[in-house]
Chain A
Amino acid sequence: GQNIDQPTEMTATEGAIVQINCTYQTSGFNGLFWYQQHAGEAPTFLSYNVLDGLEEKGRFSSFLSRSKGYSYLLLKELQMKDSASYLCAVGDNFNKFYFGSGTKLNVKP
């Protein structure tokens, strides 16, 4: 079966750095994706990792370790608008896409 775990909720302060972890166990792996979803809106794509290592994109970075079944999303210089849910998702070998339950990030002043 598929199992993708993320913390349910996190709180951080404006200007700080926060790391959101994701662990996964899936039958087949074609890449790990991070999405941001504001309440009542559609998910928007943030990053994709298929090889081990760190991918940096502005204030957002994502890391993958395939041997450990582990990824994290790093958000730097937090802004109030970063308050949202962050979804980890895995593409498997069977054309399927599985989402974790999401981490709700609260950014406080």
Chain B
Amino acid sequence: DTEVTQTPKHLVMGMTNKKSLKCEQHMGHRAMYWYKQKAKKPPELMFVYSYEKLSINESVPSRFSPECPNSSLLNLHLHALQPEDSALYLCASSQDASGKNEQYFGPGTRLTVT
């Protein structure tokens, strides 16, 4: 099973809402990632979890809060977002976070902030 799943596929939320994005993999990967991708742009790294610990936060605003409950799950909690946060949010996983292993991407959650 080389699949990374993400829910929901689409999400529309107001600027005062609280919502969560979920990601799951069962490949035994020990590194998981959140990326943000705007239209016609490459994915931008947001967070890296290595062995369930946050190892990289790319200066992401605190209205985005990641969580890794266990080695298979990764959440992204959203609160008080801005319209400019509308984007495709991609989750990925890899065997480890050494930078030597390919990342497997989920289908993404398309987020619209109104």
Query: Which residues from chain A sit less than 8 Å from chain B, CB to CB?
Result: 28, 30-31, 33, 41-45, 48, 50, 87, 91-102
| B98:A97 contact, CB within 8 angstroms | no
- Interface status of B61 (Cβ within 8 A of chain A): no
| A97:B108 contact, CB within 8 angstroms | no
Number of A-B residue pairs at CB separation under 8 A: 58
State A61–B113 Cα separation when bound (angstroms): 40
| Min CB–CB distance B54 → chain A (angstroms) | 11
| A42:B42 contact, CB within 8 angstroms | no
| Min CB–CB distance B49 → chain A (angstroms) | 10
Q: Which residue of A lies closest to B2 (CB)?
A: A45
Q: Mark B94-112, 1 if CB is under 8 A from A, else 0.
A: 0001111111111110000
Assuming A31-B100, A50-B100, is B105 touching A97 (CB within 8 A)?
no
Q: Give the interface residue-count category, chain B.
A: 20 to 34
| Min CB–CB distance A88 → chain B (angstroms) | 9
| Min CB–CB distance B44 → chain A (angstroms) | 8
| B99:A91 contact, CB within 8 angstroms | yes
11 example contacts (A-B, Cβ-Cβ < 8 A) are as follows A30-B99, A31-B99, A33-B103, A42-B106, A44-B105, A91-B101, A92-B99, A94-B99, A97-B99, A97-B103, A100-B42
